[in-house]
Chain A
Amino acid sequence: MSSTTTTREYFQNVWDSLATTFAGMRITGKYLMQKPITVQYPDERLPIPDRYRGIHYLEQEKCINCLACARACPIDCIEMDAIRHGKELEWVLFTLDYQKCMFCELCVYPCPKDCIHMGTEFAFVSFDRSEFNHDLLSYKGMSREARIRKREADIKKAEKEAAKAAAAAEKAAQEAADPETPEEPAS
């Protein structure tokens, strides 16, 4: 700061302070008018990249209990067990301990059936540590997207079955209503 201010500098200061204030207010006013860039998080979410490494989800019906993922895991956080009935598998457990898991994705690559995936779910809050030992066999362990896909598939399947049943019922009704149709002689 100079100890003396000339008259010219004095009025320059007055002008500068007003002009810069108005310039600043124009900028903030522009931001005030624009749409906020944040989203209302729990209600709406920003898109998550496809290759995001979140909580796993398991396609249980494809899994053959080969333990490849459990062996690949560098910190041994996957445990699985199943009883074999011929070609059918009866699942006992498939747990993944998220207190240990470091989301390295090494369990995904060795899977011969391509049935374990990294999901996009990342918010994982619990009141109890034991809940972090996660049961992947339930829907709970699936990612949001996988759960949605699963639900959609279920709905589609149910619709298909309903349509089939409806068609069968219609056919039966037609057969019952049409007496000209020669009935199969019971032999």
Chain B
Amino acid sequence: MSLLTLEAAAGGNAISELLGGIAPEGTPTWAIWLGAAGAAVGLLVAFVSLVAMFSVWLERKVSAHIQCRYGPMYVGGWHGWAQTLADGVKLLLKEDMIPLGADKPLFVLAPALVLGAIFGALVALPLAPGFFFADVNMGLFLILAFSSLTTIGVVMAGWASNSKWSLYGAMREAAQVVAYEVPLGVSLFVPLMVAGTFSLTEASAAQSGWFGMHWFIFQNPFMLPAFIIFFIAALAETKRAPFDLPEAESELVAGFMTEYSGIRWSFFFMEEYAAMFLMSAVGAVFFFGGYHSPLTAMFPDEATSGLLYQLVCAGTLIFKSFVGVFVMMWLRWTLPRLRIDQVMSMGYKYLTPLALACVLGAAIWETIFA
């Protein structure tokens, strides 16, 4: 429990069991392991792409309707649902440009690192009981570590681009993430204390029953402020407005991704939306009941291992995550960007002490009442 143990994909998940079941007798274990890993990677890539596609479309629609416009309406027929697909094809076909002065290996590696880190973080996210890529008992640590790893990629991209805009963006990203990692981690101590576990599967399982009344947010009066702090810190962590200083299109062209184009640029874009989804999912798991909802509570106990239950659970968590993503977009199109000193003072002077106060209060509450 206290050790960060990364269980291998073959350890005990559904994919390897399935492959082991259908593989002919005598297939070596490593082949099953490789097959399972390949299938898992394929599933992850598909999942991230779909999430990013839908989120980009949603962002366009939300921004458009907040500005009393329609947004994309033609591509694909129904309200331009295929607009992102068309854009993806366009980005794939674009010329792959690397600036002459760029540090080529780092320039190429940076988008891959950024996107790979998000894949790594999504591994620990359970969509339903028994539907996960790896049951990591320190899952939250893994997710936080991997989502911080994207910062390395961003700094790498900014440095390797050999452009002042990129470098400024990367420096801001580094400063911002250093400031906001602390309140992000500390605010998550509150649900951790309530849950008593770092594992996302266990935390989700602990919130079942009672038609949502077992959600962690109702367990402790300090959960709501902790959630607000977590949400703000997650906004800063995912570089979303009003904390989009690393991009800051009105000041820094496009910040750290100024020199990127085509599919490499779209990696950064996919990372941003996948990170939004991931952060919302973590918020949903540790504050709002994970994959449990009044709908899943209606299933009788015998049915909780069925496929329908699993699908409803996965749908619930995805829905909750997209509610979080929607609120992030709503905030983006409401608030103007903060200045860098405002961002810093908010992180260090407000969020960190308030998060610590929440932890203290929650600890006292848990000691007395739980």
* Chains A and B are bound partners: yes
Q: Interface residue tally of chain A, by bracket?
A: 10 to 19
Q: Say if the beta carbon of B303 comes within 8 Å of chain A.
A: no
Chain B residues whose CB sits within 8 angstroms of the CB of A40 once the complex forms: 70, 73
Q: Which among A18, A29, A34, A38 is the interface contact of B330 at CB below 8 angstroms? A: A29
Given A18-B228, A21-B335, A24-B334, are A32 and B350 neighbors across the interface (CB < 8 Å)? no
Q: Are B331 and A36 in contact (CB under 8 A)?
A: no
Q: Are B64 and A28 in contact (CB under 8 A)?
A: no
Q: Are A38 and B65 in contact (CB under 8 A)?
A: no
Q: Are A28 and B333 in contact (CB under 8 A)?
A: yes
Q: Say if the beta carbon of B2 comes within 8 Å of chain A.
A: no
Chain A residues whose CB sits within 8 angstroms of the CB of B333 once the complex forms: 28
Chain A residues whose CB sits within 8 angstroms of the CB of B3 once the complex forms: none
Q: Are A28 and B330 in contact (CB under 8 A)?
A: yes
CB distance from B10 to the nearest CB of A (A): 46
Chain B residues whose CB sits within 8 angstroms of the CB of A28 once the complex forms: 66, 330, 333-334
Complex Cα gap A101–B334 (Å): 46
Q: Say if the beta carbon of A31 comes within 8 Å of chain B.
A: yes
Q: Say if the beta carbon of A123 comes within 8 Å of chain B.
A: no
Given A13-B350, A21-B335, A24-B334, are A32 and B62 neighbors across the interface (CB < 8 Å)? yes
CB distance from A111 to the nearest CB of B (A): 42
Which residues of chain B from 67 to 81 have a CB within 8 Å of any chain A CB? 67-70, 73
Q: Say if the beta carbon of B354 comes within 8 Å of chain A.
A: yes
Which residues of chain B from 205 to 228 have a CB within 8 Å of any chain A CB? 228
Q: Are B350 and A38 in contact (CB under 8 A)?
A: no
Which residues of chain A from 26 to 74 have a CB within 8 Å of any chain B CB? 27-29, 31-32, 34, 36-38, 40
Q: Are B331 and A25 in contact (CB under 8 A)?
A: yes
Chain A residues whose CB sits within 8 angstroms of the CB of B335 once the complex forms: 21, 24
Chain B residues whose CB sits within 8 angstroms of the CB of A34 once the complex forms: 68
Minimal Cβ-Cβ distance residue in A for B332: A28
Q: Interface residue tally of chain B, by bracket?
A: 10 to 19
Q: Are A32 and B66 in contact (CB under 8 A)?
A: yes
Chain B residues whose CB sits within 8 angstroms of the CB of A125 once the complex forms: none
Chain B residues whose CB sits within 8 angstroms of the CB of A177 once the complex forms: none
CB distance from A41 to the nearest CB of B (A): 10
Q: Say if the beta carbon of A14 comes within 8 Å of chain B.
A: yes
Q: Are B354 and A38 in contact (CB under 8 A)?
A: no
Minimal Cβ-Cβ distance residue in B for A23: B334
Q: Are A38 and B334 in contact (CB under 8 A)?
A: no
Complex Cα gap A70–B107 (Å): 66
Q: Are A36 and B73 in contact (CB under 8 A)?
A: no
Minimal Cβ-Cβ distance residue in B for A29: B330
CB distance from A117 to the nearest CB of B (A): 34
Minimal Cβ-Cβ distance residue in A for B228: A18
CB distance from B116 to the nearest CB of A (A): 34
CB distance from B291 to the nearest CB of A (A): 27
Q: Which among B64, B67, B331 is the interface contact of A21 at CB below 8 angstroms? A: B331
Q: Are A36 and B228 in contact (CB under 8 A)?
A: no
CB distance from A10 to the nearest CB of B (A): 8
Chain B residues whose CB sits within 8 angstroms of the CB of A17 once the complex forms: 346
Complex Cα gap A13–B346 (Å): 10
Minimal Cβ-Cβ distance residue in A for B70: A36
Given A13-B350, A14-B350, A32-B62, are A25 and B69 neighbors across the interface (CB < 8 Å)? no
Chain B residues whose CB sits within 8 angstroms of the CB of A25 once the complex forms: 330-331, 334
Chain A residues whose CB sits within 8 angstroms of the CB of B354 once the complex forms: 14
Complex Cα gap A21–B333 (Å): 11
Given contacts A34-B68, A38-B68, 14 further A-B contacts (CB under 8 A): A10-B350, A14-B350, A14-B354, A21-B334, A21-B335, A24-B335, A25-B334, A28-B334, A29-B330, A31-B66, A32-B330, A36-B64, A38-B69, A38-B70
23 A-B pairs within 8 Å (CB atoms) are namely A13-B350, A14-B350, A14-B354, A18-B228, A21-B331, A21-B334, A24-B334, A25-B330, A27-B334, A28-B333, A29-B330, A31-B66, A31-B68, A32-B330, A34-B68, A36-B65, A36-B68, A36-B69, A36-B70, A37-B68, A38-B68, A40-B70, A40-B73
Residues of B at the A interface (CB closer than 8 Å) are 62, 64-70, 73, 228, 330-331, 333-335, 346, 350, 354
Minimum-distance CB pairs A-B, first 8: A24-B334, A28-B334, A37-B68, A28-B66, A32-B65, A36-B68, A32-B66, A36-B70
